[in-house]
Amino acid sequence: MKFLKNKTIMITGGTGSFGQACTKFLLQYNAKKIIIYSRDELKQFEMSNKFNNSKLRFFLGDVRDLKRLKLATKKVDILIHAAALKQVPAAEYNPMECIKTNIYGAENVISACIENNVKKIVALSTDKAANPANLYGATKLCSDKLFISANNLSGSANTIFAVVRYGNVIGSRGSVLHYFKSLIQKNVKSLPITDERMTRFWLTLDYGVKFVLNSIDMMKGGELFIPKTPSIKITDLVRVLGKKMKYHIIGIRPGEKLHEVLCPEDSARDTIEFKNYYLIKPSIDFTRGETNNYKINKKNEKGKIVKSNFIYSSDNNPHFLNIKELKKLS
């Protein structure tokens, strides 16, 4: 990824699972400077000790703070927006806090990047933003729309925005795998699952980081990138974690879905399929003058528009992991 060489890259929410994994890759690709922007001083201290690299800069700050963001984004080339309040039940009980971070925070990131002429911005999204059934998903859908439409606001600044949407990341903090393993360490005899029919997309953290970085390289502005990833059955995950492990049904939590959706049917008319990913092109025309051909990417790979009734969800995914494959990834 030669495009990363000598670039200054900022990651909001950079002390999280994604931010730390991404930092490792950016150091390998000779980034000039990596700015970690987050509000947790302890995690910044721990991350500083972990990497011990002079290319890292740590900014204490909240995406709700526009003034601080404007200061942090000066002379930044690329920004990856990973900061979010993402726990579904917490968002249901604290809706305004979720809105302040996920929507107003997105607006602040956009404003700061345009003012400081940041060249490329990618915002991380979630399956829960597709046909949202909970407040967290609704705020991320709104955030996605803000970043896509921000391509209308940059004018002569040449700042372009795109979004990457993916599902469950294996082993990240708050993931079901992380939760199950913590319970097993406490010697529980039965794992709680919400519904036996539940399925999830299954994405490794390293693959997620590489996909985001590749999307930054290929982006023209206005795209929503979605990786093709396998699905799992939640009951298979329990089997993999222990042959004698049992499970019990606790019922679906507030705002939870049975199956994840990454490409909803309503977006099918704008969805283009490539070999390893889907791209949802913007439904609006931008005012900057140029017309992007989203059917051909920067590697000259040609995509095709999907069928009008197309849905990409974890239950209709053609690629399900079997028990052997799931063991390798878990």
49, 165, 311, 313, 328 from 259: Cα distances, Å: 39, 15, 12, 7, 23
Read off the pLDDT band of 158 (50, 70, 90): confident
Which residue's entry shows tokens 């519904």? 195
For 39-72, what is each residue's pLDDT tens digit?
A: 999 999 999 999 999 999 999 999 999 999 999 9
Q: Is residue 254's pLDDT more than 80?
A: no
Catalytic residues: 128
Read off the pLDDT band of 89 (50, 70, 90): confident
Q: What is the mean pLDDT of residues 209-220?
A: 96
CB 117 within 8 A of CB 159: yes
Q: What is the pLDDT of residue 172?
A: 75
Q: What is the pLDDT of residue 179?
A: 86
Read off the pLDDT band of 287 (50, 70, 90): low
Q: What is the pLDDT of residue 193?
A: 93
Residue with the larger pLDDT of the pair 37 and 174: 37
SS3 assignment for 255-310 = CCCCCCEEECHHHHHHEEECCCEEEECCCCCCCCCCCCCCCECCCCCECEECCCCC
Assessment of whether the complete model's pTM goes beyond 0.75: yes
Which residue's entry shows tokens 């913007």? 282
Structure tokens given for 139:
């705020």
Domains for the chain: give ranges and CATH numbers. Answer: 2-167+204-228+264-309 (3.40.50.720)
For the chain, give the mean pLDDT: 93
In the chain the first and final C-alpha atoms are separated, in Å, by: 28
130 CB contacts (<8 Å, ≥6 apart)? 137, 141, 165, 261, 262, 263, 264, 267
Residue with the larger pLDDT of the pair 292 and 57: 57
278 CB contacts (<8 Å, ≥6 apart)? 225, 226, 228, 262, 263, 271, 272, 306, 312
93 CB contacts (<8 Å, ≥6 apart)? none
What does the angle CA 84 – CA 90 – CA 94 come to, to the nearest 5 degrees?
90
Q: What is the pLDDT of residue 42?
A: 97
| Residue 242, SS3 per DSSP | coil
Read off the pLDDT band of 122 (50, 70, 90): very high
CA distance 109 to 217: 20
For 170-195, what is each residue's pLDDT tens digit?
A: 867 767 888 898 898 898 989 999 99
Q: For residue 78, what are the β-bridge partners? A: 9, 120
Q: What is the pLDDT of residue 112?
A: 98
10, 182, 188, 194, 241 from 244: Cα distances, Å: 45, 17, 11, 19, 9
Residues in the chain: 330
CB 136 within 8 A of CB 255: yes
Q: What is the mean pLDDT of residues 142-164?
A: 92
% the chain with pLDDT above 90: 80
Read off the pLDDT band of 244 (50, 70, 90): confident
Residue with the larger pLDDT of the pair 51 and 89: 51
246 CB contacts (<8 Å, ≥6 apart)? 189, 190, 191, 238
Query: What is the C-alpha R_g of the chain?
Result: 20
CA distance 41 to 59: 9
Read off the pLDDT band of 12 (50, 70, 90): very high
Read off the pLDDT band of 289 (50, 70, 90): low
Which residue's entry shows tokens 């080339």? 77
What does the angle CA 290 – CA 296 – CA 299 come to, to the nearest 5 degrees?
110
Read off the pLDDT band of 256 (50, 70, 90): confident
CA distance 186 to 29: 40
Q: What is the pLDDT of residue 83?
A: 97
